[in-house]
A and B are shown apart, each in its own frame.
Chain A
Amino acid sequence: MPEISYRQAIKDALAEEIERDENVVVIGEEVAQYNGAYKVTEGLLERYGPKRIVDAPISEAGFIGMGIGASMLGVRPVMELMFWSFAYVAWDQMINNAGCVRYMSGGLINVPIVIRGPANGGTNVGATHSHTPENLIANMPGLKVVCPATPYDAKGLMKAAIRDNDPVYVMESTLLYGTTGEVPEEEYVIPLGKADIKKEGTDVTIVCHGPSVPVALTAAQVLEEEHNISAEVVDLRSIRPLDEETIINSVKKTSRAVLVEENRPFCGVDAQIAYTIQNKAFDYLDAPILRVSTIDAPAMYSPAIEPEQLPKAATVVDKVLSIM
């Protein structure tokens, strides 16, 4: 299988879906002529023209709302947010309109929209540009939220998101765009709501998603090499729908769980996962569930310090050792 970048994988997904379905359009700031702020859409304007690849002015509420309206008429817009941190400007549209219209209309109207773009910290861009809002969105019924961690997942999940008839919000990660991985040449789609075991193990379950996946994998390697502990790494891939089954089966096998995410701990995704484990696998647990999250403050700018604020593999290792 060829190795391609996470960025390329997403672009390939967009291109294939644009070719497959004439209703798919890509809309966002700088997606067309500028080739994408993070170059995810590079070359697409040249290939598909301005009807399919559309530059929007800086007006997130306006163009995201417009995409939602167009999706009600059967267009399938893939909207790019230059950063997920800018989603708040369009929050009313994303939550009140995309999330509630189907319900309020008694199922008469569907909103098949994808909203995607980079989230997360780690690039020293300060508090306003480093948000991780997947927990906020996962709290809103009617919406789906997906956080791919590898090129393979990014391509397959993006294709599923575009074909989905509900609003799907895909959080990519700035730090992951340059990472590479194997992606098959033939077409595949990864259904939303299916977690992936990124590494099998028997002694402890590490649950993670998005940019915390490489952190967890590094920790698992250290645990194995230096402490002879076999960790199983469960990548959620999709926060909502959530694959409880894979998490529970893993915890039943290992009897221990450490949860890693880039959200802040207060009301984070992992709070939900911890509840799920104690609710459905309490009798299997041999130790308390521990969490590793971002230190609970707005994102630190200082390039020397920001890594300290984010989940670190060394912390994950320490937490695992403390419950063995």
Chain B
Amino acid sequence: MSAKTTPKKRVKPAASILADEAKLPINKDLSKEEQIGFYRDMVRIRRFEERSLRVYQQGKIGGFLHLYIGQESIAVACASLMGDHDHMITAYRNHGHALAVGMGMNECMAELLGKATGCSKGKGGSMHFFAPDKNYWGGHGIVGGQIPLGVGLAYGVKYKGNTGSAMAFMGDGAINQGAVHEAYNLAALWDLPAIFIIENNGYSMGTSQERSSSHPKEGLAARAEGYNMAWENINGESLFAIRDGVGRAIKRAHEESKPTILEIHTYRYQGHSVADANAKKYRTKEEIDDYRKNHDPLNVYRLYLLDQKVMSEEEMKEIDAAAKKEADDAAKFADESPFPSVESITEDVYWEADNPDQRTSEGRLFFND
């Protein structure tokens, strides 16, 4: 077995790849504004990530920084389909999902810098963004550990009698964790409106999918067969194809309360994290260049919008400039924000320690001295 994946060969030229899928029922009535909105959302994610890479290189971000560049179509397509009771939860590569559901660049960038103004008050860092008010249950650092939580969100939706779903995202490496399989079983056994989304970028750190997963020839999602669950393969290059497939899964969740596994084929251009010194060793330069040139979801969408005359180059430049400025402003905001206080270390550990007037315990001691 080869250690390297070969890029998937595409038959159609980039500009027309979305044209067919644009005619699908879920996409055909999209307004011009909506289509431009998707473009803006993808550009914002990319510019945010590029900006955060620079900030990291300036030594201002601690720990890991897992960039989502190359995968933006997935978070944007999925977020575009969320209603009142649709939820999202994902792994540590979570900035794209966070921005897609509407979190602000300021709070996200400030979190990367460990500032008190960060979305998690500087306590979560790059891997742990949360916005429960936006049905976004965060980024989680243990590979696969978030998937049972996603099933729990689906359980909560169903328990409370709501029509909704929970999208639980993971990488192609995560699918081999036991907790993921337990979660699959529970979702299928109990008819929970869970949607498992495998963002298959071909690699888990430096290990290619070929070297990590035994699976049916149809792919990773096809393991669903063993759980009597619906599944689909989706081309992540195409925002419209993702909306179509995820839309079907959401419909299944809403109308039948049944789970689905989706495998979305995508790619990441950067290393596993910015600290990944071997980023170029486990795959060829040609492979990365080919993806960037021919399969980049942002560029494919851009060419489609131009082709269809939804937007002009000029308008795109404006969006790009605005996103860059927003990211620059966020970097400035983050820079100028204060660090958390030392006292805040022991806040947010216990609910009742933070709500002393409503506490249920007697005796004080949560913290030792």
A110 to B362, CA, bound (A): 20
Query: Is there an interface contact between A75 and B365, defined as CB atoms closer than 8 Å?
Result: no
B130 at the interface (CB under 8 A from A): yes
Q: Which of these, B122, B137, B354, B366, contacts A241 with CB under 8 Å?
A: B366
Query: Is there an interface contact between B149 and A238, defined as CB atoms closer than 8 Å?
Result: no
Q: Which of B131, B142, B179, B355 is most buried by chain A, counting CB atoms within 10 A of its CB? A: B179
**Which residues of the partner chain B approach A144 to less than 8 Å between Cβ atoms?**
350, 361
* Chain A proximity of B171: nearest CB distance (Å): 17
Query: Is there an interface contact between B152 and A238, defined as CB atoms closer than 8 Å?
Result: no
When C-beta atoms are compared, the residue in chain B nearest to A72 turns out to be B137
Q: Name the segment of A54-62, A117-125, A300-308, A316-324 touching the other chain.
A: A54-62
A278 to B208, CA, bound (A): 56
Q: Which of these, B131, B145, B354, B360, contacts A96 with CB under 8 Å?
A: B145
A102 to B132, CA, bound (A): 12
B167 at the interface (CB under 8 A from A): no
Q: Which of these, A93, A102, A191, A242, contacts B349 with CB under 8 Å?
A: A102
A-B pairs with CB below 8 Å: how many?
A: 201
* Chain B proximity of A80: nearest CB distance (Å): 16
Question: Given contacts A57-B189, A92-B145, is CB(A73)–CB(B156) below 8 Å?
Answer: yes
A43 at the interface (CB under 8 A from B): no
Query: Is there an interface contact between B145 and A65, defined as CB atoms closer than 8 Å?
Result: yes
Query: Is there an interface contact between B348 and A242, defined as CB atoms closer than 8 Å?
Result: no
Query: Is there an interface contact between B138 and A105, defined as CB atoms closer than 8 Å?
Result: yes
Interface string of A30-70 (1 = CB under 8 A from B): 00000000000000000000010000110101111111111
* Chain B proximity of A135: nearest CB distance (Å): 14
Question: Given contacts A65-B145, A72-B153, A93-B145, is CB(A166)–CB(B350) below 8 Å?
Answer: yes
Query: Is there an interface contact between B152 and A67, defined as CB atoms closer than 8 Å?
Result: yes
* Chain A proximity of B344: nearest CB distance (Å): 9
When C-beta atoms are compared, the residue in chain B nearest to A276 turns out to be B368
Q: Which of these, A61, A101, A160, A243, contacts B360 with CB under 8 Å?
A: A160
When C-beta atoms are compared, the residue in chain A nearest to B348 turns out to be A107
Query: Is there an interface contact between B142 and A92, defined as CB atoms closer than 8 Å?
Result: yes
Query: Is there an interface contact between A240 and B142, defined as CB atoms closer than 8 Å?
Result: no
A244 at the interface (CB under 8 A from B): yes
B119 at the interface (CB under 8 A from A): yes
Interface string of B81-111 (1 = CB under 8 A from A): 0000001010000000000000000000000
B39 at the interface (CB under 8 A from A): no
Question: Given contacts A59-B186, A194-B363, A240-B366, is CB(A66)–CB(B155) below 8 Å?
Answer: yes
Query: Is there an interface contact between A66 and B123, defined as CB atoms closer than 8 Å?
Result: no
Main secondary structure of the interface of A (DSSP, over half): mixed
A163 at the interface (CB under 8 A from B): yes
Query: Is there an interface contact between A110 and B149, defined as CB atoms closer than 8 Å?
Result: no
A192 at the interface (CB under 8 A from B): yes
B224 at the interface (CB under 8 A from A): no
* Chain B proximity of A150: nearest CB distance (Å): 18
Query: Is there an interface contact between B159 and A109, defined as CB atoms closer than 8 Å?
Result: no
Query: Is there an interface contact between B148 and A61, defined as CB atoms closer than 8 Å?
Result: yes
Q: Which of these, A23, A70, A102, A163, contacts B155 with CB under 8 Å?
A: A70
Main secondary structure of the interface of B (DSSP, over half): mixed
Query: Is there an interface contact between A195 and B363, defined as CB atoms closer than 8 Å?
Result: yes
Question: Given contacts A70-B152, A102-B351, A141-B349, is CB(A108)–CB(B120) below 8 Å?
Answer: yes
Question: Given contacts A92-B179, A193-B364, A245-B363, is CB(A105)–CB(B145) below 8 Å?
Answer: no
Query: Is there an interface contact between A93 and B148, defined as CB atoms closer than 8 Å?
Result: yes
* Chain A proximity of B354: nearest CB distance (Å): 6
A193 to B181, CA, bound (A): 38
**Which residues of the partner chain A approach B10 to less than 8 Å between Cβ atoms?**
none
Interface range on chain B: under 10, 10 to 19, 20 to 34, or 35 or more? Answer: 35 or more
A67 to B186, CA, bound (A): 11
Q: Which of these, B121, B147, B178, B189, contacts A107 with CB under 8 Å?
A: B121
When C-beta atoms are compared, the residue in chain B nearest to A240 turns out to be B366
Among A111-148, those with CB < 8 Å from B are 141-142, 144
Query: Is there an interface contact between B179 and A62, defined as CB atoms closer than 8 Å?
Result: yes
A294 at the interface (CB under 8 A from B): no
Q: Which of these, B118, B149, B347, B361, contacts A68 with CB under 8 Å?
A: B149
Query: Is there an interface contact between A75 and B159, defined as CB atoms closer than 8 Å?
Result: yes
Q: Which of B153, B347, B350, B352 is most buried by chain A, counting CB atoms within 10 A of its CB? A: B350
Q: Which of these, A25, A64, A244, contacts B363 with CB under 8 Å?
A: A244
* Chain A proximity of B237: nearest CB distance (Å): 31
* Chain A proximity of B177: nearest CB distance (Å): 9
B160 at the interface (CB under 8 A from A): yes
Query: Is there an interface contact between A107 and B354, defined as CB atoms closer than 8 Å?
Result: yes
B140 at the interface (CB under 8 A from A): yes
A164 at the interface (CB under 8 A from B): yes
* Chain A proximity of B103: nearest CB distance (Å): 11
A165 at the interface (CB under 8 A from B): yes
**Which residues of the partner chain A approach B132 to less than 8 Å between Cβ atoms?**
72, 105, 108-109
Query: Is there an interface contact between B149 and A106, defined as CB atoms closer than 8 Å?
Result: no
When C-beta atoms are compared, the residue in chain A nearest to B186 turns out to be A62
Q: Which of these, B149, B179, B189, B354, contacts A72 with CB under 8 Å?
A: B149
Q: Which of A71, A107, A238 is most buried by chain B, counting CB atoms within 10 A of its CB? A: A107
Query: Is there an interface contact between A106 and B148, defined as CB atoms closer than 8 Å?
Result: no
A166 to B359, CA, bound (A): 11
B67 at the interface (CB under 8 A from A): no
Q: Which of these, A71, A103, A163, contacts B123 with CB under 8 Å?
A: A103
Among B143-184, those with CB < 8 Å from A are 145-157, 159-160, 166, 178-179, 181-183
**Which residues of the partner chain A approach B131 to less than 8 Å between Cβ atoms?**
108
Q: List 28 A-B contacts (CB under 8 A).
A: A57-B186, A65-B148, A65-B179, A66-B155, A69-B137, A69-B151, A69-B156, A70-B152, A74-B160, A93-B149, A96-B142, A96-B145, A102-B348, A103-B123, A105-B128, A106-B118, A106-B120, A106-B123, A106-B348, A107-B348, A108-B131, A110-B351, A141-B349, A144-B361, A191-B362, A192-B362, A238-B361, A243-B365
Hey, which bits of chain B sit against chain A, CB under 8 A?
A: 87, 89, 118-124, 128, 130-132, 137-138, 140-142, 145-157, 159-160, 166, 178-179, 181-183, 185-186, 189, 347-352, 354-355, 360-366, 368
Hey, which bits of chain A sit against chain B, CB under 8 A?
A: 23, 25, 51, 56-57, 59, 61-75, 92-93, 96-97, 101-110, 141-142, 144, 160, 163-166, 191-195, 238, 240-246, 272
